[in-house]
Every structure is written in structure tokens, then in C-alpha cells.
Amino acid sequence: MIDSEHPLQPKGSDGVLRVIILTRLSQAKETVEENAATMESSATASKEYLERVYSGQVEYTVLSEQISGMVVDRETIPETYALVETGTQDLVLCEELRCVYRNPAMQILFVQNMYDSKTRFISIADSIDTATDDWESMLLFATTRHGLVIPDTRRRSKRKSRFSFNSNGMVLKVRFGYRKLTRDQAATGEHGPVGHRMVKIAEADPIWSEIRARLLSKMRPQAVVDWLIEAGVKPGPYVSSKGWTPQLTESMRVDLAE
């Protein structure tokens, strides 16, 4: 990319090349230290590349973040734009385009904005350099390559989540009378089958029995609601209405066979 036809040239009169390096980690590691080490290794790879192709003085600004590349509104992107808008930055550098975004549309927009701001952008592994004549073509090739990963990842994630959910290994919300278990609690098997992420609350059994009896006796759902409210029974932490409704009690009919 960088050759005699496209040399790096500092904008400032002091001759210092000012470079923004972007790194990003999608999935958090087990510790904060591991997160930092992973992103630092990416920044180091970018610095080593620049040292091979440029011998002048360099001032680095490294912007790192642990977040999904599909998230549009995040800290490092506005920080980059703010620095670029000062007109002092010579280069935005990254290992791969995915360090900026995963979303192909946002990748294209970001690189185009760098070009329009007269700030050179280089993605090392993608051979994108906005100082060259073919940067648009290389950008489109790269966004296609990176973009193809997204549907495959989404499909595998949905498959894994669906299997886990159907096996009670993933619980997003629980209804009244149940509570969620942590992964460690579920692994012990002390609260039920190993891996199951929810368990009944024993104290709620008498209330369940009474709800069951009233519904089976053909009591109107609203009458059951009135009884629950008068008894001071809380509907559960995930009820958006923050109170009992006929729809909630009616939905409990699916549990009458338990």
C-alpha cells in the first residue's frame, strides 16, 4: 500500500505523523486484563506495520473498546471523528476493517468520511488505503468478505440459543413462582436437572394451588386478579404492567397439568 507513489506526509509543520489506531474486541475475555492484552496486541501489530513502512517520528492515539461491531453508537467512533475534525490527524490505522464496524454499511460510511475529511485511512489486512486509486474497490471487496460472516454467525448463534432455551439452559424471563439460576447453580444439579436455569419457588406453591383451583372452578380471570391483589401477591419481576391482569392469569392455564 505505502510506496514511493503514496508516501505518508505529516500535515503539521513539526514533521510528526499523527496516527489514530483503532482496535476492538467483540467477546469479552474472562478478565479485564485479558481484554486489554487482546486489544493491545492488535494495536502493537498496527504499530509494527507502520514502523516497517515509515521511519519518521510518530505520535499515536490508540482507541480501544470491548463491544460488538454491530453496535453503531459507541465511544471510540465519536472520539475518532472529534480528533479528525481538528485537522491534525494524518492517518487512521487498523488491522482489519472489523476493528471499526461489523456492519458493512457503517464500514463504507466510516471510510468514506475519512476520505472526505482528507484523513488517510489504512486497513492493513484488507489492503485498503484511501491514498490509492483503487481504494473504493478494495473497500467493497472487504465489506463483502467481512459481511458474509454476519449471517453465518447469526445462524449459529440462533441455533445454539434455541437448543439451550429448549433445554432450559437459557432463561431470559421467568413467570410468577419461578426464579432464575446462575450457570454455576444450574451446574450443581441441587435445584433440579443439571443445566436447567430456572426453579420453582417453594413459597409460591400454595398460591399456585389456589390459582389452579379457582381457574378450574371456572372463576373468571378478573375475579382471580381481584383475589391476588387483595391478598397482596406480587406478579413477578418481569411483568411489564407491574400488576396482575386477566391476561396473566389466563396464561397460567398452560401450567394446570403440572
User: 77-115, pLDDT tens digit by residue?
Assistant: 999 999 999 999 999 999 999 999 988 999 999 999 999
Cα–Cα distance measured from residue 124 to residue 119, given in angstroms and rounded to the nearest whole number: 16
Residues of the chain with pLDDT > 90, as a percent, come to 43
Terminal-residue alpha carbon distance, the chain: 67
According to DSSP, residue 233 is labeled: -
Is residue 194 pLDDT above 70, yes or no?
Answer: no
Is residue 257 pLDDT above 50, yes or no?
Answer: no
Confidence band of 235 (pLDDT split at 50, 70, 90): confident
Q: Taking the model in full, what pTM does it have? A: 0.61
Is residue 248 pLDDT above 60, yes or no?
Answer: yes
Cα–Cα distance measured from residue 45 to residue 91, given in angstroms and rounded to the nearest whole number: 16
Confidence band of 154 (pLDDT split at 50, 70, 90): low
6-10 average pLDDT score: 93
Is residue 247 pLDDT above 80, yes or no?
Answer: no
Give the full edge-to-edge strand order of the sheet including 120-123: 58-66, 17-25, 91-94, 120-123, 128-129
According to DSSP, residue 95 is labeled: S
Q: Which residues of 97-132 are buried (b: 16+ CB within 10 A; e: fewer)?
A: bbbbbbbbebbbebbeebbeeebbbbbbebebbbbb
For the domain 17-150, what is the CATH code?
3.40.50.1390
Which is more confident, 36 or 181? 36
Q: Which of 194, 201, 196 is nearest to 178 (CA)?
A: 201
Is residue 61 pLDDT above 80, yes or no?
Answer: yes
- Compute CA 116 distance to the chain's CA centroid, rounded to the nearest angstrom: 29
List where CATH 3.40.50.1390 sits in the chain.
17-150
Cα–Cα distance measured from residue 200 to residue 209, given in angstroms and rounded to the nearest whole number: 13
pLDDT, the chain, mean: 82
Which whole-number Å values give the CA distances from 67 to 30, 78, 96, 102, in the listed order? 14, 15, 16, 11
